[in-house]
Amino acid sequence: MSFKIPGLLLMLLVLDGAADHPARADAARGGQLARQWCASCHVIGGSQTGAVPQGPPSFQTVAHSGMTADQLRAFLSHPHGAMPDLALTRAEIDDLIGYIDTLR
């Protein structure tokens, strides 16, 4: 019986580590990162005109695509297509996802 509490605590820590943490994401910082690194190809806001025509999806399109936070995290964690390898940190990826969530 004495091992139930430590086992429960361990289970809670594992579940906590596997869960999405939108509260930890800084959406404002994610928006800043998007404008700094993504705006040359993606439309970030509704009035931007500098994105590649017929090119990558806008952040608004990504927000409404139905991709989950985990899917976005996997996509942003690995180089893909013509995107430059920005080598984003986990925190930066979470911040970008937090920003995308504000567009939903």
Token couple for 98: 């937090």
Q: What is the structure's pLDDT at 45?
A: 80
Residue 77 within a domain: yes
For residue 86, the domain's CATH number is 1.10.760.10
Q: What is the structure's pLDDT at 55?
A: 81
Q: What is the structure's pLDDT at 85?
A: 81
Residue 83 within a domain: yes
Residue 45 within a domain: yes
* pLDDT tens, residue order, the chain (104 aa): 455 554 444 444 444 444 444 568 999 999 999 999 999 889 998 655 555 567 889 999 999 999 999 999 999 998 777 888 888 999 999 999 999 999 99
pTM here?
0.72
Residue 11 within a domain: no
Residue 81 within a domain: yes
Residue 8 within a domain: no
Domain tally, the chain: 1
Q: Name the strand (E) or helix (H) holding 10.
A: helix 4-18
How far is Cα 19 from Cα 12, in angstroms, rounded to an integer?
Answer: 10
Q: What is the structure's pLDDT at 24?
A: 86
Residue 7 within a domain: no
Q: Name the strand (E) or helix (H) holding 96.
A: helix 90-102
Token couple for 16: 């906590």
Look up the domain containing 40 and give its range. 21-102
How far is Cα 61 from Cα 15, in angstroms, rounded to an integer?
Answer: 31
Residue 37 within a domain: yes
